[in-house]
């Protein structure tokens, strides 16, 4: 079993046999709740170390993650890279913009310009946040060495479909469905309103 999956199962972050709605609006029966990981600093640190070990020979200078989960992963990855490489590796993050993109604020673009950058993210289903973060780093003048996610949920995602460098620590492929063709909906399986975006989906549907 992949080490990442072992860690996520240990903290109860992999939920199965339910009806979830993701950030993208897609429906699926298996949910990786990264929010169950982050309270556990030891296990989160272990994930960061896995990222760091993967890129220890790439002369990374700055690690970037999209808010919110990417902030925590960028910090731990940079921390372990700094220890492994015996030099300071910086960690900054992008934030959501009013138009739905990802942008640097707080002057963080200055820590990216002309730097060798690693972009890290927790979960990817569509790759949307990775693409937006990649664009922000490019616009800030960063030299992107790679983008890497903790868990890739989509077997169709690769560097060709995303049109950017793309790696992952592990795969956990989950079938996803648009609401109009969701078999879980057709089978009248109740939508989980405690985890994910199910509550918001039902509220918008009932308007």
Q: What does the pLDDT look like over 79-96, one tens digit per residue?
A: 999 999 999 999 999 999
Q: Give residue 144's pLDDT.
A: 97
Q: What is the pTM of this model?
A: 0.87
Q: What is the pLDDT of residue 85?
A: 97
Tell me whether strands 27-28 and 143-152 are parallel, antiparallel or unpaired: unpaired
Residues of the chain with pLDDT > 70, as a percent, come to 99
Percent above pLDDT 90 for the chain? 75
CA quadruple 71, 73, 75, 77: dihedral, nearest 10: -150
Enclosing H/E stretch for 72: helix 69-85
Mean pLDDT of 34-43: 95
pLDDT on residue 1: 46
Residue 83, number of CB atoms within 10 A of its CB:
13
Average pLDDT, integer, range 140-156: 94
Which residues, 6+ apart, have CB-to-CB distance to 171 below 8 Å? 151, 152, 153, 155
In 3D space, the residue among 84, 34, 75, 92 whose CA is nearest the CA of residue 55 turns out to be: 84
CA distance 72 to 126: 21
Confidence bin at 206 (pLDDT 50/70/90): confident
Full set of structural domains in the chain with CATH:
3-200 (3.40.50.2020)
Residue 46, both tokens = 């272990």
Quick check: 181 pLDDT over 90? yes
Residue-level pLDDT at 168:
95
Sheet of 90-96: strand order equals: 102-103, 90-96, 62-66, 116-124, 143-152, 167-171
Orientation of helix 41-54 relative to helix 3-10, angle to 10°:
170
Q: Given this model, what pLDDT does residue 64 score?
A: 98
| Cα(109)–Cα(140) distance, integer angstroms | 6
Note the pLDDT tens digit of each residue in 161-173: 899 999 999 999 8
pLDDT at position 108: 97
Q: Note the pLDDT of residue 81.
A: 98
């Amino acid at each position: 079993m992949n080490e990442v999956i072992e860690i996520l199962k240990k903290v109860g972050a992999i939920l199965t046999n339910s009806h979830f709605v993701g950030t993208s609006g897609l429906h699926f029966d298996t949910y990786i709740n990264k929010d169950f990981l982050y309270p556990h600093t030891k296990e989160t640190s272990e994930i960061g170390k896995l990222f760091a070990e993967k890129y220890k020979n790439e002369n990374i200078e700055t690690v970037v993650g999209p808010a919110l989960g990417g902030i925590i992963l960028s910090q731990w990855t940079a921390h372990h890279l700094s220890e492994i490489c015996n030099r300071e590796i910086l960690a900054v993050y992008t934030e959501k913009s009013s138009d739905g993109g990802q942008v640097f604020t707080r002057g963080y673009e200055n820590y990216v310009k002309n730097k060798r950058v690693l972009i890290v993210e927790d979960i990817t289903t569509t790759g949307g946040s990775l693409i937006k973060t990649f664009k922000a780093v490019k616009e800030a003048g960063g030299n992107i060495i790679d983008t890497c996610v903790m868990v890739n949920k989509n077997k169709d995602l690769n560097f060709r479909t995303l049109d950017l460098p793309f790696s992952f620590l592990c795969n956990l492929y989950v079938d996803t469905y648009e609401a109009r063709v969701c078999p879980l909906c057709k089978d009248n399986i109740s939508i989980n309103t405690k985890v994910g975006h199910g509550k918001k989906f039902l509220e918008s549907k009932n308007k």
